Structure 1
Amino acid sequence: MPVHKLILDDVFEEVRYSLIALHCTIEDYRLAYLLNKNLGITLSRKSSDLDHNNGKSTYSIFEWEDEKQLTTWSLVSNVCKIETYQQIDYQSLFDNQETIIKKTNLIPEYKRVNYFLKIDNQLNFSREKYILNNVLKIPQIATAYSIDSNKLKSKDNLIFS
């Protein structure tokens, strides 16, 4: 009996998006406000955070759907800080607990990046450069740059829907 092989390369098309890394130390809501103001967009906080590793780490996410351009803008935090308690076994009268803060990243390849701005719709080079220049005009942002999403190892973490 012959073996039939299905090739599905043409069926599932890769979703195209632009990804901008943002280095800054301000809170997520302040960054969303500044991006809204400088880019003319309307990012708003989603009702639930982005859940990763079955609730072990959560990342704040802001989203805006531009229905004119058929584009979805997402601002997501790359850093999650989890406070845990560790029992310290000193030979003392009292129980001692030490607070430990664990830091996890949504995209581990870019540990120093604080936020990612994901734009679901392949932009042409000049439009992406225009957005990047407007982001760099914000004084609270130390630096911002485009990332080639095809070279990411953990690009599955950027699927929000």
Structure 2
Amino acid sequence: MAVHKLILDDIFEEDLYTLIAIHCTLEDYRLAYLLNKYLGISLIRKPLDLDYQDEKSTYSIFEWEDNKQQTIWNLVSNVCKTEDYRQRNDESLFDSEEKITRTTYLIPEYKTVNYFLKIDNDINFSKEKYILNNVLEVPQIATAYSIDSNQLKSKDNLIFN
């Protein structure tokens, strides 16, 4: 019996996007405001956060659709901290519950990154460098750099729609 093999490389091509990692301690709304100011964009918080692992992890997301350039910009948090209460087994006169803080990451390979700026559309190197330099001008941002999305193991988490 003959075996037929279908090669679909030509049919499905990967989405082209630029990914910038941002290290800062700002709240998400404050960072979105500063990026709007320094980049001349209009990021707006989406009504629903990103939910992963059956709503156990939620990540804030801001979006701006640039109709002129046919580009979608997303600012997404990489860190989700949740508090769980667990019943203690020991006999005590005091609290029988203990609070546990659990931290999960949208992209676990980059645990030190606080936020990701994803720009959907293949932009050239000079424009990417210009955007990165403007992001680095924000005084509250410690550092920012571009990430090669082909090297990510969990790039499926960056599909927002």
TM-score bracket, normalised by the shorter chain, equals over 0.9
Matches within 5 A, 1:1-161: 1-161=1-161
Q: Secondary structure at the match of 2:48?
A: coil
C-alpha separation in 2, matches of 1:55 and 1:128: 33
1:95 & 1:45 partners in 2: Cα distance? 38
The sequence identity of aligned pairs, in percent, is 74
Aligned amino acid, residue 141 of structure 2 = I
Q: Deviations over 1:113-143 (max 9, x none)?
A: 0000000011111000000000000011000
CA deviation after TM superposition for structure 1 residue 95, in Å: 4.8
Describe the SS at the equivalent of 2:72: strand
Structure 1 runs of 4+ aligned residues shifted over 4 Å read none
Question: Deviations along 1:33-72, whole A, 9 cap, x unmatched?
Answer: 0000100000000010001112110100000010110100
User: How far off its partner does 1:15 sit?
Assistant: 0.4
Deviations 1:65-90 (A, max 9, x none): 10110100000000000000121223
Q: TM-score, normalised by structure 1?
A: 0.96
CA–CA separation in structure 2 for the residues paired with 1:80 and 1:153:
19
Aligned-partner Cα distance in 2 for 1:92–1:148? 52
Separation in structure 2 between the aligned mates of residue 125 and residue 114 of structure 1, nearest angstrom: 24
How many residues align structurally? 161
Any unmatched runs of 5+ in structure 2? none
- 1:10 aligns to what SS in structure 2? coil
Q: Distance in 1 between matches of 2:13 and 2:132?
A: 26
